Homo-oligomer: A and B are copies of this chain.
Amino acid sequence: MPAEHAILGLLAQNPDGAHGYDLARHFAGDEPLGAILRLEPGMLYHHLKKLDKTGWVAATVEQQGLRPPRQVYRLTPDGEAELRRWLSEPVERTRDIRLDFLVKLFFAQRTQPETVEALIAHQREMLTRNITSLAEQRAALAAKPDTDDRDRSFTLAVLDLRRSQTEAALEWLDQLSPIASNG
């Protein structure tokens, strides 16, 4: 779940804590985070409660006169550890590059820029492994007897699509150096 880790990441940038409405702004369309991940108020408040129950954030109440009191959330040590763990781990599937990996990249850059190169390198290995596996599946299928020609050519097309998507992600990764270096 990238959304909850994104919340942890935002709190990691704000040692004084933040309340729901503060955080919500970062998930709007004109913010960089909002370009990859939209979070409606309902879900945001839901995640905050869940994170509180898990112990990754801690809430304190701030009275506000006549407005509803603010719940100010701060990252706990457990939450920080979880964030670090998550940020160091590449995503397994190519389709998760689009969302999960971008969120990782975003917060790695902002909260621990020295880890960005390692994250990219690990992700690179993972994608390379996936390409190898796809090549193996392709070879196995081509060699498989008793297969309808239409079925085979369709499944080959499926594997080829995955390969092309994974290779594209890999090439994109290799051009991320500006982010990695001056982040």
Contact mask for chain A residues 117-141; partner B; CB cutoff 8 A; 1 contact, 0 none? 0000000000000000000000000
Return chain B residues, CB-CB under 8 Å to A162.
98
Q: Choose from B32, B97, B161 the contact partner of A161 (Cβ within 8 Å).
A: B97
Interface size of A by CB at 8 A reads 34
Contact mask for chain A residues 156-176; partner B; CB cutoff 8 A; 1 contact, 0 none? 011011101101110110011
Given A95-B95, A95-B98: A109 and B164 interface contact (C-beta under 8 Å): no
Please measure, in the bound complex, the distance between the C-alpha atom of A183 and the C-alpha atom of B153, giving whole angstroms. 9
A150 touches B109 (CB 8 A): yes
- When all copies of this chain in the complex are counted, the total is 2
B179 touches A157 (CB 8 A): yes
Given A98-B95, A165-B165: A153 and B172 interface contact (C-beta under 8 Å): no
Please measure, in the bound complex, the distance between the C-alpha atom of A105 and the C-alpha atom of B156, giving whole angstroms. 13
Q: Choose from B32, B153, B158 the contact partner of A36 (Cβ within 8 Å).
A: B158
